[in-house]
Chains A and B, each alone.
Chain A
Amino acid sequence: MPEVLRAPLVVEFPFTRSLGPVQSAFLTGLRERVVLGVRTTDGRVLVPPVEYDPVTADELRDLVEVAPTGTVTTWAWNPHPRPGQPLATPFAWVLVRLDGADTSLLHVLDAPGPDSVRTGMRVRVRWAATRTGAITDIACFDPYGGAPAQPSGSTGEFADPVTGIVTPARLDYTYTPGRAQSAYLDALAEHRTVGERCPQCRKVYVPPRGACPTCGVATTEQVEVGPRGTVTTFCIVNIKARNLDIEVPYVYAHIALDGAGLALHGRIAGIPYDQVRMGLRVEPVWTEGARHPDHYRPTGEPDADYDTYRELL
């Protein structure tokens, strides 16, 4: 078996999240070193405050301040902090019921080791030095020996409230395309286009995807197709795509390579964009180091008759 193709795939985006009134108040409060909860219709105080009562589904809006001190209700010692987590040194994950609250908040506790952590221990918020209105404005909790702290008397109304947050998220994957696609990609490296034939319907799939999608069986027999083909349909792109270094206008076409059972997609060049037509005969143009053809150009052959490719549209 040839070596498995693999490459990193980074899925990363800074998501922009609007907050709504309750979450806005809570996160703004954290910025101002105030912890807010929300009172339910039956008088419980939920911290962190949620917009909707988990028991009754009531809409909740009655904000109430609680203390920055509280009690650990359960914990877990994390010896190996992971990227993105609040502390880079070993710490405890904790659920903390803040004084004045009836529910617990998930955060982390900075402690010297697991032996210094227990359920029922008292803790206090350590505020982050710079605060923007985010859950990370609580840097962590610290062990705390004193009496319950008093709320500051905040009304829950703040100047310049935070109404949205940006939550960047990056996940790292290793992409492997699998057997059929790997074989296809390996052949492309030699500037050959190799599809696979379905053992049942005998159609040739380019690129092959491991299965004949109409028969639901593995395609196996490798078949070289092209290099020439026919433009079955196309559009003229007049809008510059992000991350794509192609001057507009250009032609984006469906191309049925000779011998293939369906069309693949490619760019047409070497001809004015307004002269591209359905039925145009084309061939691939490769550039050094690129895995896929850079574009397709006219071969100069007469156009294919509509009936020869109408089934491939």
Chain B
Amino acid sequence: MSKEPVAVVGIGQTKHVAARRDVSIAGLVREAARRALDDAELTWADIDAVVIGKAPDFFEGVMMPELYLADALGAVGKPLLRVHTAGSVGGSTALVAAGLIAARVHGTVLTCAFEKQSESNAMWGLSLPIPFQQPLLAGAGGFFAPHVRAYMRRSGAPDTIGSLVAYKDRRNALKNPFAHLHEHDITLEKVQSSPMLWDPIRYSETCPSSDGACAMVLTDRAGAARAPRPPAWMHGGAMRSEPTLFAGKDAVSPRAGKDCAADVYRQARITDPRREIDAVEMYVPFSWYEPMWLENLGFADEGEGWKLTEAGVTELDGDLPVNMSGGVLSSNPIGASGMIRFAEAALQVRGQAGEHQVEGVRRALGHAYGGGSQFFAMWLVGAEPPST
């Protein structure tokens, strides 16, 4: 028995900002969900099940907040699942929702992800004072910066690459009304002269802390046939995990990421991702992760990813646009960030991305990762239904 094809027929997100002081947690998630339903021209009654994801509960100080959110999400009387796979959770959540349709358990599923970081402070949530442990010596960026240095050493990349990525993503964000950072006066010089926080990572090369939510309506073939706008079709999706820290771990290009991408490409029958994929939304919380993931995802050979960035290939008008939306560097509601990547990939193949639409995108990759570069979730969506 083959799987039921999965289509994205509704997408919604909030305007990501540092603090959404005008809404409750429910109001924030609801806003994205409502927009996704409106996009699909569906009502709450059309939804068979809800799958929700977010990062650690400590961020909002609500344990298993989906219990409280059931009413706002129209989930009463329905199945409601809550996923948590660290930073990759937005992607994993969408994949769990897609699985319900692929398995023919449900016809139409609402999936959403959120973070309301302004309720607390992410660094507090991430560094609870666990006794006996060495205090975290370096903050969030300090955790990743040594891996960036390892990448630079390994690839021989010039130290300007990170700034190029940040400059590109922040300019792309200007074309995305939902992006958190809209730095209208951005220049490459400004990025390059911003303070070096965790050398080799500059302030401008780090992501903001955002309140935001994202939602999608996923449906089966019959649902897609009724959709008012072109659907995005899922051609492949996979999750891979490896341990946080272990002897032999490649933190620069984790095998879990490579394996995950390989699985997605196999499902989508892609043999040359660089040629066959038209656009990528990848999870880049620090700018240097763009070249690192370009290699990890098979778009460039090992040590060569930075050359694509340097040559402008990943620009909005480049040959392989990356993070057309402005990416995580421009909006980071942590739990939702992965789903935003998935949703933005879907928007591109639907031709619905507005000002940051890339002409003629037929296949796009959405990518999310989390934990100690250990949890990966990806999907590949296309403008055409998958061939069976």
Which residues of A does B touch, CB under 8 Å? 5, 7-11, 13, 15-20, 23, 50-57, 59, 163-164, 167, 169, 175, 177, 181, 185, 201, 203-205, 212-214, 232-239, 241-244, 246, 249, 252-254, 261-262, 265-267, 278, 291-292, 306, 311-313
Q: How far is the CA of A115 from the CA of B293 in the complex (A)?
A: 68
Q: How far is the CA of A35 from the CA of B247 in the complex (A)?
A: 61
Q: How far is the CA of A16 from the CA of B59 in the complex (A)?
A: 11
Q: Select the residue from A13, A57, A185, A252 with max chain B CB neighbours within 10 A.
A: A57
Interface 9-mer from B1-9, B168-176, B190-198, B362-370: B190-198
Is A236 a contact partner of B196 (Cβ separation < 8 A)?
Answer: yes
Interface 9-mer from B16-24, B230-238, B325-333: B16-24
| A-B contacts besides A9-B130, A313-B251, 15 pairs, CB < 8 Å | A5-B132, A9-B129, A16-B118, A18-B19, A18-B118, A50-B71, A57-B44, A238-B195, A238-B196, A239-B139, A244-B137, A246-B137, A252-B138, A252-B142, A313-B154
Inter-chain residue pair count (beta carbon < 8 A): 173
Q: Mark B227-267, 1 if CB is under 8 A from A, else 0.
A: 00000000000000001111111111000000000000000
- Shortest CB–CB separation between residue B366 and chain A, in angstroms? 28
Is B132 a contact partner of A291 (Cβ separation < 8 A)?
Answer: yes
Q: How far is the CA of A15 from the CA of B23 in the complex (A)?
A: 15
What residue in chain B is nearest A256 (Cβ atoms)?
B247
Is B132 a contact partner of A185 (Cβ separation < 8 A)?
Answer: yes
Instruction: Give 25 A-B contacts (CB < 8 Å), ordered by A residue.
Output: A5-B132, A7-B131, A9-B129, A9-B130, A13-B61, A17-B24, A18-B118, A19-B24, A20-B22, A51-B27, A57-B72, A57-B73, A175-B131, A177-B132, A203-B246, A203-B247, A213-B243, A233-B150, A235-B142, A235-B198, A236-B199, A237-B197, A238-B199, A262-B249, A266-B134
Partner of B247, one of A11, A19, A237, A262: A262
Known: A15-B61, A18-B22, A235-B146. A265 touches B71 (CB 8 A): no
Assess whether B156 is interfacial by the CB under 8 Å rule: no
Q: How far is the CA of A17 from the CA of B118 in the complex (A)?
A: 8
Q: How far is the CA of A44 from the CA of B247 in the complex (A)?
A: 61
Chain A positions within 8 Å of B243 at CB level: 213-214
Is A52 a contact partner of B198 (Cβ separation < 8 A)?
Answer: no
- Shortest CB–CB separation between residue B74 and chain A, in angstroms? 3
- Shortest CB–CB separation between residue B258 and chain A, in angstroms? 16
Q: Which 8 A-B pairs have the closest CB atoms?
A: A235-B145, A261-B247, A213-B243, A57-B74, A7-B131, A236-B199, A203-B247, A20-B24
Chain A positions within 8 Å of B145 at CB level: 235, 252
Is B21 a contact partner of A253 (Cβ separation < 8 A)?
Answer: no
Q: How far is the CA of A13 from the CA of B44 in the complex (A)?
A: 35
Q: How far is the CA of A5 from the CA of B44 in the complex (A)?
A: 52
Is B129 a contact partner of A213 (Cβ separation < 8 A)?
Answer: no
Chain B: interface secondary structure? loop
Q: How far is the CA of A233 from the CA of B129 in the complex (A)?
A: 26
Is B124 a contact partner of A252 (Cβ separation < 8 A)?
Answer: no
Q: How far is the CA of A313 from the CA of B148 in the complex (A)?
A: 11
Q: How far is the CA of A244 from the CA of B134 in the complex (A)?
A: 11
Q: How far is the CA of A252 from the CA of B136 in the complex (A)?
A: 10
Q: Select the residue from B137, B200, B249 with max chain A CB neighbours within 10 A.
A: B137
Q: How far is the CA of A254 from the CA of B26 in the complex (A)?
A: 41
Q: How far is the CA of A277 from the CA of B353 in the complex (A)?
A: 45
Partner of A51, one of B72, B149, B154, B200: B72
Is B137 a contact partner of A175 (Cβ separation < 8 A)?
Answer: no
What residue in chain A is nearest B153 (Cβ atoms)?
A278
Assess whether B135 is interfacial by the CB under 8 Å rule: yes
What residue in chain B is nearest A204 (Cβ atoms)?
B247
Is B198 a contact partner of A167 (Cβ separation < 8 A)?
Answer: no
Is B137 a contact partner of A241 (Cβ separation < 8 A)?
Answer: yes
What residue in chain A is nearest B125 (Cβ atoms)?
A13
Q: How far is the CA of A145 from the CA of B244 in the complex (A)?
A: 63
Is A16 a contact partner of B119 (Cβ separation < 8 A)?
Answer: yes
- Shortest CB–CB separation between residue A37 and chain B, in angstroms? 15
Chain B positions within 8 Å of A53 at CB level: 71
Is A237 a contact partner of B146 (Cβ separation < 8 A)?
Answer: no
What residue in chain B is nearest A203 (Cβ atoms)?
B247
Q: Mark B72-83, 1 if CB is under 8 A from A, else 0.
A: 111010000000
Assess whether B120 is interfacial by the CB under 8 Å rule: yes
